[in-house]
Structure 1
């Protein structure tokens, strides 16, 4: 039954994010779906970790996305691929560091930080990401007594 819930969740995500075509963002949410519905008792499946992790991933993804835009404007000779590699790595490192010190570790959210560097996005998509994670947290919380770790 938990795998059916995961399938329905990711189908919902795919149906709506398909309009935006942000594949790396979808992959991040797919990984969260796996954790929530197959390992619901683990540390990274806690609601505060999912919400906190994605909040940090999105914040650092936006910061380093804006930094890359700024650097492109002032350093005309910089190679875009190199710039995205550097800012992508910095977004991952910063997200991991702050997740660790705030005890909100959720690995897929680190992928979200990176995806905001590598994939075009808009704020409507980020709103939808929050909606998806909040819905997953609500479903998990309401079924908490019935979900088991499937490992």
Structure 2
């Protein structure tokens, strides 16, 4: 079950990335029977994949759960409080060397980039798997929509 703060982060990411030529999906499971899941992923017409991991508590940030950073650019999406903790903790700062850090507004729909992501080299095989995974996850989301909305109400 998602917390209100997680849903707020998702809303901020959506508004931040919802641009022409950028296609996004929440909860992308990587691979056919993948154990890894990216909280949000975008693919843009310039062939760029961006992955976003949402963390809203310190326990979540420190948990053993995978943080899947397999895009050309990868971002940690956090609260202002978590950003302040990362700045004080050298081990956390080093852990997120390549990732960009985005701080979302807990009220409103804004995101502030506090650390720029460094470009990663995504192999052709990984790129193909990631894009196939995103398509399957997008299809899952469409299926949820049509199951939740009676066909006579879909325009």
Both proteins in one fold, TM over 0.5 = no
In the superposition, the TM-score normalised over structure 1's length comes to 0.31
In the superposition, the TM-score normalised over structure 2's length comes to 0.30
Greater helix share, 1 or 2? 1
Greater strand share, 1 or 2? 2
